[in-house]
Amino acid sequence: MIRCFWLRVPAPARVLAAALSLSLLGGCRKEGTTAAAEGAAAAPPPTPVMVAPPEERVLTEWKEASGRLDAVESVEIRPRVTGHIDRVTFTAGQLVQKGDVLFVIDPRWYRAALATAEAQLARARVNLANAEREWERNKALQKTRAISESEADQWRTRVEEGKAAMLAAEATRDAAALDVEATEVRSPISGRASRPLLTEGNYVSGVAGFTTLLTTVVSVDPMYVYCAVDEATYLDYARKLREQKISLNADGKIPVQVQLPGETGWPHVGWVESFDNRIDPSTGSIAVRGQLPNPERLLVAGAFCRVRVPTSLEYKALLVDEKVIGTDQDQKYVLTLGAGNVAEYRAVTLGESVDGLRLIRAGLQADDRIIVSNLQLIRPGAPVMPLPPSPAAAATKASGE
């Protein structure tokens, strides 16, 4: 059984207790307010940061595409006469000059045919000379009417027949001489030869339509590079060309630069040789052909490469390090040093990458100071303390200037 006892406190005592409670509560509020003020006074100091202006360069914008190298000239080497290969005079991959002998076909039968043709030509000349002498004698007899007109016509006809026979013999002799010359299969161009597809002793055909492929030769200097650009890019490019907003080389041609796999930079420089005459409706692109000097023979027909052509004139551009660019949903930004040494949010429009830097198309000025360190510790509007450049950095900048 629980019993409750009520303590009866006199009224003056209750008044005294209430006053004491109010006094204690007032003391607590005062103490709390003082602690808040002390916390505000103890705010963290500004974050030390390094700042740098955007890098300013004079550059040209480029459009890149995948390309393929090809030879300017490519020839299939086939014989013009039939016979057995007597000799192969080159090795696989050898550089040959125009007119060099690559194969020799056994010429003995063709030399014999040439000798026969020359003998027939000599006979035709003798017959013609005899017919001309007979005609000269009979012309005098015709004047004295010792022979009839019919007989004179016969002697005149024999002369004309002799001339025709001699011309036919000369043509036969020339054809036989060409066959003898064709037994030496020569390269019609200068370039690099492929491997011999047939070796000594093999029988080859020179009959038209059934000729035997012996090897191929491709030219090596200069070289063509082919790439394709989409329709929208081509139309924009054509408009810029009309408006003279494309950088040209010293010869007034559109420059083209090529990079092979494993190379850095764009060491191979040439020019745009031509655009195709139509846009391919199946792909929506147009073929572009460039021409490149190849004195060191580094460019090989059939190789794939990267190709770029200029899409603007030279202009002063601002570039920043990729590491200082932040992402805010779909917006790119950098932090700059604002008034009062606070971090300022600056939205930027990016361009292409250039030597590890990123082109800034809009959002920055050349005199802006970009925060480049401690970016993970600060937010827009936070106080910062810019640090002076280190002596090493200053020395590097001075040496570069």
Are the beta carbons of 343 and 105 closer than 8 angstroms?
no
Domain with CATH 2.40.420.20 in the chain: 48-57+317-400
Domain with CATH 1.10.287.470 in the chain: 107-182
Mean pLDDT of 37-59: 75
Instruction: Say whether the peptide bond before residue 255 is cis (omega within 30 degrees of 0).
Output: no
Angle at 311 between CA 359 and CA 264, to 5 degrees: 65
CA torsion through residues 57, 63, 66, 68, sign: negative
The CATH-assigned architecture of domain 107-182 is Orthogonal Bundle (1.10)
Residue bearing tokens 């030597």: 355
Q: What is the pLDDT of residues 386-401, one digit of tens each?
A: 887 655 444 344 444 4
Q: What is the pLDDT of residues 212-242, one digit of tens each?
A: 999 999 999 999 999 998 998 889 888 988 8
Residues 6+ apart with CB under 8 A from 129: 162
Q: In which band, very low, low, confident or very high, does the pLDDT at 42 lie, cut at 50, 70 and 90?
A: low
Q: So what's the pLDDT on residue 43? A: 59
Q: What is the pLDDT of residues 76-99, one digit of tens each?
A: 999 999 999 999 999 999 999 999
Q: So what's the pLDDT on residue 12? A: 44
Q: What is the pLDDT of residues 156-209, one digit of tens each?
A: 888 888 899 999 999 999 999 999 999 999 999 999 999 999 999 999 999 988
Q: So what's the pLDDT on residue 144? A: 66
Instruction: Say whether the peptide bond before residue 222 is cis (omega within 30 degrees of 0).
Output: yes
Q: What is the pLDDT of residues 103-126, one digit of tens each?
A: 999 999 999 999 999 999 999 999
User: What element of type H or E holds 358?
Assistant: strand 357-362
Q: Is the pLDDT of residue 14 over 70?
A: no
Domain with CATH 2.40.30.170 in the chain: 62-72+220-310
Q: So what's the pLDDT on residue 140? A: 65
Q: So what's the pLDDT on residue 371? A: 85
Q: Is the pLDDT of residue 283 over 60?
A: yes
Are the beta carbons of 183 and 110 closer than 8 angstroms?
yes
Q: In which band, very low, low, confident or very high, does the pLDDT at 291 lie, cut at 50, 70 and 90?
A: very high
Mean pLDDT of 1-19: 42
Q: So what's the pLDDT on residue 141? A: 67
- Any idea what DSSP says for residue 168? H
CATH fourth-level superfamily of 62-72+220-310: Efflux pump adaptor protein, beta barrel domain (2.40.30.170)
Q: So what's the pLDDT on residue 177? A: 95
| CATH number belonging to domain 48-57+317-400 | 2.40.420.20
